[in-house]
């Protein structure tokens, strides 16, 4: 761990309401955590793993110099927003923001099941957090896949997508980009649930495979609602690729994803 541990932890905590909330969810003593933030002590191997799993980062990332870590994770959303009158991108989305319907009932955590675009024939389980912030609906999606050839001792490939959501004419449109590399975007369209209790949402996702061929693809996707408060550590540890017949993927999810009728689980664009 580098001397940047404290400042990097403070940046991660800034995405939550308070440090007390983070300590409660991590089940780590507040006084002990304050010593981490102040750089007075270092987490044990057990606590370091819990902290990294909770925030969705790797230990080597948490030890990066503060400036490099800030570029990797991004400063807290909304801390410095350009004036819409000077930003053509914000102006472009202004009509959509006015026309979109509220979607508070859809905020919370979800498991996202999809047919993996880069490894056809497998189901990719991701974690999504959809939230409202200053009248906008933003989301974060975490993905994790086991690395076939570990590099620098890293056994997993991690992706972190940041995006925005709009509820338009009974459809949820979500657009995101991969924030760790900045070289990928995807779009998801979900059909809303009109039941009193949200359980699962169906939809499609479009993007481009990360394989050498960069194949454009479209896959069915299922969002399973987890709630507004979850154990992020336990949820993060479940993120990985699953074989389609893995017993941890239930029959309903398998059927919603298309079963055997899809070619390798994907609709490929020739």
Please report, in tens digits, the pLDDT of each residue of the chain (270 residues total): 457 889 999 989 887 888 998 998 898 999 999 999 988 889 999 999 889 888 888 888 888 888 888 877 765 444 444 444 567 877 888 888 888 999 999 999 999 999 988 788 899 999 999 999 878 899 999 998 876 555 555 567 888 899 999 999 889 999 999 887 777 889 999 998 888 889 999 999 998 766 566 778 889 999 999 999 999 889 999 999 999 899 999 999 999 998 544 444 455 443
CA 145 – CA 159 distance, rounded (Å): 9
Name every residue whose Cβ is closer than 8 Å to that of residue 47 and which is 6 or more positions away in sequence. Answer: 28
Delineate the domains of the chain, giving CATH numbers in brackets: 5-73 (1.10.260.40), 88-268 (2.40.128)
Instruction: At 235, give phi and psi (nearest 5°).
Output: -65, -45
CA 154 – CA 169 distance, rounded (Å): 44
Residues in the chain: 270
CB 13 within 8 A of CB 19: yes
* Helix ranges restricted to H, the chain: 5-13, 19-26, 30-37, 45-55, 59-62, 66-73, 88-99, 232-237, 251-256
Place of tokens 């991590």: 26
pLDDT of residue 254: 92
pLDDT of residue 156: 72
Closest CA to 258 of 222, 207, 223, 226: 222
Instruction: At 143, give phi and psi (nearest 5°).
Output: -125, 150
pLDDT of residue 164: 94
Within a 10 A sphere around the Cβ of 12, how many other Cβ atoms?
19
CB 191 within 8 A of CB 205: no
Closest CA to 228 of 21, 77, 67: 21
Reduced to 3 states, what is the DSSP secondary structure of residue 142? strand
pLDDT of residue 92: 83
């Amino acid at each position: 761990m580098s001397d940047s541990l404290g400042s990097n932890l403070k940046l991660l905590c800034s995405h939550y309401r308070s440090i007390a909330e983070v300590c409660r969810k991590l089940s780590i003593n507040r006084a002990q955590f304050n010593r981490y933030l102040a750089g007075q002590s270092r987490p044990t191997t057990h606590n370091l793993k819990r902290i990294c799993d909770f925030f969705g980062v790797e230990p080597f990332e948490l030890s990066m110099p503060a400036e490099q870590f800030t570029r990797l994770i991004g400063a807290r959303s909304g801390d410095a927003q350009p004036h819409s009158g000077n930003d053509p991108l914000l102006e472009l989305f202004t009509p959509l923001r006015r026309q979109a319907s509220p979607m508070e009932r859809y905020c919370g955590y979800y498991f996202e099941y999809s047919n993996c675009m880069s490894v056809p024939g497998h189901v990719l389980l991701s974690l999504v957090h959809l939230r409202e912030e200053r009248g906008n609906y933003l989301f974060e999606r975490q993905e994790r896949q086991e690395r076939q050839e570990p590099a620098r001792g890293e056994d997993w490939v991690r992706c972190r997508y940041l995006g925005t959501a709009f509820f338009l004419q009974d459809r949820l449109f979500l657009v995101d980009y991969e924030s760790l590399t900045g070289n990928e975007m995807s779009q998801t369209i979900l059909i809303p649930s009109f039941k009193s209790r949200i359980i699962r949402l169906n939809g499609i996702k479009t993007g481009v495979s990360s394989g050498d061929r960069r194949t454009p693809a479209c896959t069915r996707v299922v969002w399973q609602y987890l709630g507004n408060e979850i154990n992020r550590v336990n949820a993060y540890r479940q993120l990985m690729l699953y074989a389609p017949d893995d017993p941890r993927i239930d029959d309903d999810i398998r059927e919603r994803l298309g079963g055997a009728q899809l070619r390798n689980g994907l609709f490929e664009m020739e």
